[in-house]
Amino acid sequence: MNNTCWAANDKTQHLTKTFRVNYTPTMKAFMFLILVYYAIEFLRCGLFVLFVLLRWDFCHQIYTFTAFNEILVLLLTVGVPVVRFTYPGQLCSGDHPIFSFDANQKEYGYWLKLYLMESSKPEYYEKPLSQMSDDEKNLYYVRLMEQVRETQRKAKETMEKNAIAKVGIEGALKASREVEERYEKFKSDFGVAINKLAVSLKDTVTSQNVEYTHKPVEVTAIKAAEYLKNCKNIMILTGAGLSAASGIPTFRGSNGFWTKSYEGIEDPTEILTLKCFDQNPSIAWQWHYDFIDLMKTCKPNNGHQAIYELQKFSKNYPKKLNTLLVTQNIDNFHTVTIQNNNQAKKIDKTEGTSNFAFTEDVLEVHGNVLYMRCYKNCCNDFYLSPEPPIDPEERRSHVPLCQKCESVMKPHCMFFDESYTEELYRSKTVSEYLNDRLDGLIVIGTALQTSLANQIVQKTLAKLEVPVVEINPEPCVKNGFGVIVKESSLTSLPTIVKQLISLKSKQK
């Protein structure tokens, strides 16, 4: 056996490259006894694994594979005996925790070490650096540099893998954004289609699915109150016709507010959509600036005051009457009327809170032009809309931004391709009252061209014996228990309310 382990001419080579092993008859006999012993163990355990590792370089290459380590630990854990032939102090014996006999004998099983060459033990590994000879230091530094290079190699591999992973993540995020954009476009287009379908089918659904027991009748305002005297839960539904007497044009018709053009677009169902807002939010804001300016030149009328008086009566005599005011108008006139009469409940109206845009006694199912919110929904807070810019150029380009995320702010007004929600438009509250409590309905100045308003009227008519009092010079109720007052709400509504309060006051 060659015992010269560290030759002078091999200083620059890896220290383990010089090992040479020649088996003597005694060694072979001893190894044969070991194999016989483990043959017996194989018969007892059903499994026998033998690793004979005689060179450190081979040992080092094998032990650096993670899969090999996992298999070896598994074998030792389940009690499979493993024998390793090695030299005393051979470097691979300390390369992995499982190769330490003293520290891991109980945890992983056991190793049987067979020392073949006592004279080949590299004793300098147990010496402090100060006690090493120059040759030993050179060999020590060679191994140290190999470890550094191996660490650098692994770090480089990790960085390359991270770079590949980063590219994959960026691609996934881009694909996710594209899917989200396509979904938003689909939702927008689908919302428009559904709203148009709901309006176009309203007469068909009514005539085909309901057998009415009444026909619409035209009456005076005083007579209309007679139909409501026995109703205890009355919903009041108002539309643009109520505010027409205040000077705000109706949204539809030859003189309607919808006839204006913005950036060459005249169709309001195109201007006030999420799709248009995504492409150019300044168009929608121009429309709202003009509406706010118009609203400031007007004020609530006698019709708004009459509704307030009916609500006030119901609060004072809740056993006789309960009312729910639902408006499609975005002009804030109902709230102004309540505030002018100093009857508004003290609620938190702090700007930058989730209930800042709402008044308890008014359900504004299409929102309110005076408020705005973050279009990206970074929060549920509402803020006052900005004052309309005076300069024409600034008005065409000024779009307010969210204070928290700096995205575009959206006016708190329902667009044509939006859906009703409880959070923004109180639709659930309206539906619950309609289905569970309503026994009388007053409809004022609406063409029933929006899905919720049409649904309220049609569901009420489907109750057969619930009167629907419509105040409208151009009535929309064509079937069922309709009580039609073809007069202006400015004069007829105060008359109806006054007469109804008189009738209700006489009841016990």
pLDDT of residue 173: 81
pLDDT at residue 187 in the model:
67
175 C-beta neighbours (distance < 10 Å), count: 10
Q: What is the DSSP string of 442-494?
A: EEES----SHHHHHHHHHHHHTSSS-EEEE-SS----SSSEEEE-S-HHHHHH
Q: What integer best gives the mean pLDDT of the chain?
A: 77
Distances (CA, A) of 469 to 56, 126, 174, 436, 478: 99, 103, 55, 19, 12
* Lookup: tokens for 314: 């119901």
Ordered DSSP codes for 37-56: HHHHHHHHHS--EEE----H
Do residues 460 and 268 lie in contact, with contact meaning Cβ atoms separated by under 8 Å? no
Residues 135 and 6 sit within 8 Å (Cβ to Cβ): yes
For the annotated catalytic residues, the residue numbers are 366
If one compares 296 and 12, the residue with the highest pLDDT of the two is 296
Mean pLDDT confidence for 448-461: 92
Distance, in Å, from the CA atom of 59 to the CA atom of 62, rounded to the nearest integer, reads 5
pLDDT at residue 261, rounded to an integer: 79
C-alpha 343, offset from chain centre: 39
Q: Which long-range contacts (CB under 8 A, 24 or more apart) does 194-203 make?
A: 194/451, 195/416, 195/417, 195/450, 195/451, 198/451, 198/454, 198/455, 199/449, 199/450, 199/451, 199/454, 202/448, 202/454, 202/458, 203/478
Return the percentage of the chain with pLDDT > 70, whole number: 69
Q: How many angstroms separate the CA atoms of 110 and 80, rounded?
A: 9
pLDDT at 100 over 70: no
Lowest mean pLDDT among 71-75, 102-106, 189-193: 102-106
Q: What is the dihedral of CA 365, 258, 416, 429, to 10 degrees?
A: 10
Q: Which of the 8 DSSP states describes residue 398?
A: -
Structural element, H or E, at residue 62: helix 56-63
| pLDDT band with cut points at 50, 70 and 90 for residue 266 | confident
Whole-prediction pTM: 0.61
Comparing 61-65, 198-202, 366-370, the range with the smallest average pLDDT is 61-65
Residues 6+ apart with CB under 8 A from 35: 50
pLDDT band at 104; cut points 50, 70, 90: very low
Alpha helices in 217-301 (DSSP H): 221-228, 240-244, 268-271, 274-279, 281-296
Residue 222, C-beta contacts closer than 8 angstroms, at least 6 positions apart: 495, 496, 499
165 sits in which H/E element = helix 134-200
Any idea which residue has 């804001």 for tokens?
Answer: 285
Say how far apart CA 191 and CA 264 lie, in whole Å: 24
CA-based max dimension of the chain: 128
Gap between the Cα atoms of 420 and 430, Å rounded: 11
Any residues with CB less than 8 A from the CB of 260 and at least 6 apart, and which? 266, 287, 290
Name which residue leads in pLDDT, 318 or 108. 318
Residue corresponding to tokens 């100045």:
445
For residue 319, what are the contacts with CB-CB under 8 A and spacing of at least 6?
A: none
**pLDDT category of residue 53 using cuts at 50, 70 and 90:** very low
pLDDT at 168: 81
Distances (CA, A) of 364 to 274, 335, 423, 472: 19, 10, 12, 20
374 carries a ligand binding annotation: yes
Cβ-in-10-Å burial (0-12, 13-18, 19+) of 240 comes to buried
Query: 462: Cβ–Cβ under 8 A, 6 or more apart, which residues?
Result: 206, 209, 210, 480
Alpha helix positions (H), 297-378: 302-316, 333-340
Band of residue 42 on the pLDDT scale cut at 50, 70, 90: low
User: Other CB atoms closer than 10 Å to residue 42's CB: what's the count?
Assistant: 15
- Alpha helix stretches (DSSP H) within 78-133: 101-108
Q: Which two tokens stand for residue 324?
A: 């729910």
Report the percent of the chain where pLDDT is more than 90: 44
45 is in an annotated binding site: no
For domain 250-297+367-413, which architecture applies? 2-Layer Sandwich (3.30)
Token pair belonging to 342: 């100093």
Task: Quote the tokens at residue 1.
Answer: 């056996």
Q: How far is residue 238's CA from residue 236's CA, in Å, rounded to a whole number? A: 6
Region 250-274: mean pLDDT is 74
Task: Say if residue 309's pLDDT is above 80.
Answer: yes
pLDDT band at 176 (very low <50, low <70, confident <90, very high): confident
92 a known binding residue?
A: no
pLDDT top residue among 416 and 131: 416
Mean pLDDT of 229-240: 95
State both tokens at 155. Answer: 């770090």
* CATH superfamily of the domain spanning 213-248+299-366+421-508: TPP-binding domain (3.40.50.1220)
405 annotated to bind ligand:
yes
Query: Phi, psi at residue 47, to the nearest 5°?
Result: -155, 135
What pLDDT is attached to residue 305? Answer: 96
Which pair of structure tokens corresponds to residue 260?
A: 């204006």
Q: Of 134, 83, 73, 125, whose CA–CA distance to 104 is shortest?
A: 73
For residues 468 and 491, give the distance between their C-alpha atoms in angstroms, rounded to a whole number: 19
Q: Which two tokens stand for residue 126?
A: 């147990």
